Chains A and B, each alone.
Chain A
Amino acid sequence: MKPGDRNDMDSASGETALERAFEAARQDAPVPDAHLMRRIMADAEEVQAGFAPAAPVGAPARRVRLGALLMEAVGGFRGLGGLAAASAFGLWLGLSPPQGLSDYALAFYGETGLGAASALDADYAYLASLGEL
């Protein structure tokens, strides 16, 4: 201990003494030991293992509802109208007996609705002559 040096912080050299202390702190920095490095690496591996694999490049898949898919398949509302009309005609055609169609139509639709039914009668007669019915 040098008594003359005791009060160097109070003197003009105080700044220098502080700089020396800073320099000493820089030199005295703690160095991580192997145990700490292993702990940190173990954390890194654990976190890395939890990362999700990269998503495939491209637009995400679009969610499509079944109803919308069917509507699109028949051509929208306009197509749906046509489909309903065709279905109704097919149903009527299936229910109509080949023989006596005129009587059946007459019973339901009267004289005014008979034109189309009579034309069908002719078609059936033609098909019957060919042996198709």
Chain B
Amino acid sequence: MALDDSEEIGDEALLALFAAGDARAAALLTRRFTPLVLAHAYRLLGDRAEAEDIAQEVMLKLWRVAPDWRQGEAKVTTWLYRVTANAATDRLRKRGPGAPLEDAPEPRDEAPGAEARLQQAARGDALNAALAELPGRQRQAVVLRHIDGLANPEIAEIMQLSVDAVESLTARGKRKLADLLTKRQEELGYETG
């Protein structure tokens, strides 16, 4: 199997190559999974530096588990989402109650001539701030469903819940998010819609 065709190689096969000592597999796995882990950690924590620490921590766990990985039992991405969420939950627990909405980043307005980009960034910031207000499990379910775009059965596997429970969590999370965004929009007086 040629590592040049990296897109063709399955996640588990790459992990097996890594466990066998293949340095190119390490590079490919790093490129393939670090963006996913970093983005998920960032959406759960809302803090770039902490998300980077989590990404390194989770990838280190992946390296260590590689020789014992049981092929065909779980998708590597499912495992990564779960371990990332657990690590983020630990961070949030240490951090204490979530940052209040007022402490969320202000809309960025220092880049003239890029109104559309600014508005998109403002929407992203507002959403991150609102996500921080959700209970942890609701936040995780909403992020996995509506931002990472996963299907409910896979979310259920990641969160080790029933599909019904996932649907309930995402529905409640979405309602609360809409309320929070409306409130923030009124407080700050900028467009989120």
Check A26 against B56 for contact (C-beta < 8 Å). no
Where the two chains meet, the residues of A that have a C-beta atom closer than 8 Å to any C-beta of B are: 1-2, 5-10, 13-18, 20-22, 24-32, 36-37, 39-41, 43-45, 47-48, 51, 54
Q: Are A21 and B181 in contact (CB under 8 A)?
A: yes
What chain B residues lie within 8 Å of A54 (beta carbons)?
Answer: 20
Does the CB pair B39–A30 fall under 8 Å? yes
B59 pairs with A40, CB closer than 8 A = yes
Judge if B114 is at the interface, Cβ distance under 8 Å: no
Is B44 in the interface zone, CB < 8 Å from A? no
Are B55 and A36 in touch, CB under 8 angstroms?
Answer: yes
B27 interface residue per 8 A CB criterion: yes
Q: By DSSP majority rule, is chain B's interface helix, strand, loop, or mixed?
A: helix
In the complex, the chain B residue whose C-beta lies closest to that of A31 is B35
A25, A27, A45, A47 interface centre (most CB from chain B within 10 Å) = A25
Q: Which of A7, A24, A39 contacts B123 (CB 8 A)?
A: A24
Residues of B within 8 Å of A2, CB to CB, are 191
Q: With a CB–CB cut-off of 8 A, which chain B residues contact A6?
A: 185-186, 189
Docked pose: A8 CA to B179 CA in angstroms: 11
Cβ contact within 8 Å between B121 and A28: yes
B18: Cβ under 8 A from any A Cβ: yes
Number of residues from B at the complex interface, CB < 8 A? 50
What are 28 A-B contacts defined by CB distance under 8 Å? A1-B190, A6-B186, A6-B189, A9-B185, A9-B193, A10-B182, A15-B178, A17-B178, A24-B127, A26-B147, A26-B149, A28-B124, A30-B38, A30-B39, A30-B48, A30-B51, A36-B34, A36-B38, A36-B52, A37-B31, A39-B56, A40-B56, A41-B26, A44-B30, A44-B63, A47-B63, A48-B23, A51-B21
Interface residues of B (CB under 8 A from A): 18-21, 23, 26-27, 29-31, 34-35, 38-39, 42-43, 48, 51-52, 55-56, 59-60, 63-64, 66-67, 120-121, 123-124, 126-128, 146-147, 149, 174, 177-179, 181-182, 185-186, 189-193
* C-alpha gap A26/B38 in the complex (Å): 13
A32 to B39 CA separation, bound complex (whole angstroms): 9
CB distance from A28 to the nearest CB of B (A): 4
List 11 extra interface pairs beyond A6-B185, A17-B178, CB under 8 A.
A1-B190, A2-B191, A14-B182, A15-B178, A21-B127, A25-B147, A27-B124, A28-B121, A44-B18, A45-B23, A47-B66
B120 lies within 8 A of A28 (CB): yes
Q: How far apart are the CA atoms of A64 and B190 in the complex, in Å?
A: 81
